[in-house]
Structure 1
């Protein structure tokens, strides 16, 4: 109970809970629609989904400043690839939050004359580019870890006393060296849970902007499922900070 209170006292924690509820409503609404469920239940789920979305916009007010501060920090990273990717990601996130704030002001009637669909398109593009930069950083980290693993394997091979081993050990070593790339990738990610979770989260988050921008059309069920999985990963990384990619 104490852990739950500590989690919900955080703005990001409440946002993740609202986000999980929003995408769960989207997923359930799609399932009911496919199975011709009660119309009243589908309408209630759509209303609840809209309420969760509006609530999340309130929690995100001010996140633009956090994104700019994060960009100032990441621009000082020594490695050029993470520096470029993370700085670009934070700057596009800041632009996304600006568009999101304008959309919220439109929804509450403070900016009634703006063109909603134009701002929503800009917000989606900024979110999409931010995710691409995050995924590029993840792929760079994965490739670096695979390179390190390959170098360790090569060092083991060079130090392996072949002349003193029997035939069975030679066969086992040959089989180990011929393991497929995917197996090596899985073993590498298994040893680095924060990188695995961050990659999975970014991949899941891509479904929504890809659909909105018309790059890869899908359905609300897939978007709801991916959004729910991403939200659960976000909840896990907030509840267990050591699982968050640093």
Structure 2
């Protein structure tokens, strides 16, 4: 099992490059949609986007096993909140990948008698549930960091100095809000892995929300958010220290 997981993990880098290319094409198509001179380019971008999407489905064939193994590991966490959030997120990711694999088999003709739209919506729902739990995990971790930071005597002095140096801000903005934002930014600045993961998950939320019609945006917003989250994924893969743990 470990050998299989290690083998399938080798496709993560290629998947993320394909994903970044896919959403870059989507964003470019949206920006060029009203320019008649770029009609041929838009058609090529659309074709490239479809090819990237198809390629990613092939790379993700082993991700169901990875997600199941990840769920087994997170079930052993001593922190109950992290245990619940990460385990539920990984289980939903596994279900999402199952739907994704079925859709891939349908596209290549291995399976015919299935409702493609129904399976696609199910995949989006599982993806959404997984992201929601991941965002909850991020909020929980950020709250813990803020509490730890607030108890630090040196940080209290720094925050008091910040408020005293900006009396005009304190008069306009609620002092408690200013202190909260300062505490939040300082906590994220000292833990960039948490900040990157939160931004990545929030950007990814736009994709299933739009697909399910819960919060419809447009192809430009989806393409931009997908590109940002893809670039963050590449950065965390190249620099493992920037990947949130657990």
TM-score normalised by length of structure 1: 0.87
Q: Give the number of the structure whose alpha-carbon radius of gyration is greater.
A: 1
Gaps of 5+ in 1: 1-8, 158-170
Q: Which residue of structure 2 aligns with residue 104 of structure 1?
A: 104
Counterparts in 2 of 1:32 and 1:192: CA distance versus 1, 3 Å: same
Q: Would the alpha carbon gap of residues 97 and 151 (structure 1) be closer, same or farther in structure 2, given more than 3 Å must change?
A: same
Aligned to 1:66: 66
Aligned counterparts, 1:67-82, within 5 A: 67-82=67-82
Whether 2:229 is the aligned partner of 1:230: answer: yes
Compare 185-194 and 171-180 and name the one that shifted more. 171-180
1:178-209 Cα deviation digits (max 9, x unpaired): 54311211111000010000001001101111
Q: Gaps spanning 5+ residues in structure 2: where? A: 1-8
Q: How many residue pairs align between the two structures? A: 225
Give deviations 1:80-121, integer Å, cap 9, x for gaps: 000000000000000000000000000001111110000000
Aligned-pair distance for 1:35? 3.6
Q: Does 1:192 align with 2:191?
A: yes
Q: Is the 8 A contact 2:150 2:156 kept in 1?
A: no
Equivalence map 1:138-217=2 (5 Å): 138-153=138-153, 172=161, 175=164, 179-217=178-216
Deviation per CA, 1:115-155, whole angstroms, max 9, x where unpaired? 00000000000000000000000000000111111222499
What SS class does the counterpart of residue 82 from structure 2 fall into?
helix
Q: How does 1:122-137 map to 2 (within 5 A)?
A: 122-137=122-137
SS at match of 2:33: helix
RMSD over aligned CA atoms reads: 2.0
Alignment of 1:10-49 (within 5 A): 10-49=10-49
How far residue 174 of structure 1 moved from its aligned partner, in angstroms, is: 6.2
